[in-house]
Amino acid sequence: MNKKSLQEFKQILEDKKKSIIKELKSFAKKDSKLKNDWDAQFPKYNGGSGGQILEDAADQVEEYSTRLPIEYSLELRLKNINLALEKVKNGKYGVCEKCGKKISIERLKVCPEARFCINCGKNQGSASLSSGRTPAPERSTVRD
């Protein structure tokens, strides 16, 4: 990969990183004890009276349970972007972690943080593994 393309991908990755951090900051706080970890904040509503308090509490729980998988997914994307930026620094960006071959420019344009080439991703048997992304965990919600 030439220097110009590498710089372009680096800029794309840095822009994505800023965007993800901005999104995380909108509903989560950085964990001071764990590097690169964020904690979704429990929403705060103004209390009402009687049944309104219960309804607000239910809304808080629902909103929080919605935030958790989003936080998880964004953290994983941020982790993969940071890994890709580290690879840019050490000259290993665009190289498949499994086979060591170059990841195609077309693939990197679609997913600049890709960790595997398309063939190794297919052999893994999962689209999430082909990019190095891990899907957000399933969540169950109880509805009445």
- The string of pLDDT tens digits covering residues 12-67 is 999 999 999 999 888 777 876 777 777 776 666 565 555 566 666 677 667 767 77
* Residue pair 68/11 in contact by the 8 Å Cβ criterion: no
- Per DSSP (E only), the strands in 21-135 are 28-30, 38-40
Nearest to 79 by CA among 7, 11, 13: 13
For residue 102, what pLDDT band results from cuts at 50, 70 and 90? Answer: very high
What is the pTM (predicted TM-score) of this model? 0.70
Nearest to 88 by CA among 10, 18, 4: 10
* Residue pair 108/126 in contact by the 8 Å Cβ criterion: no
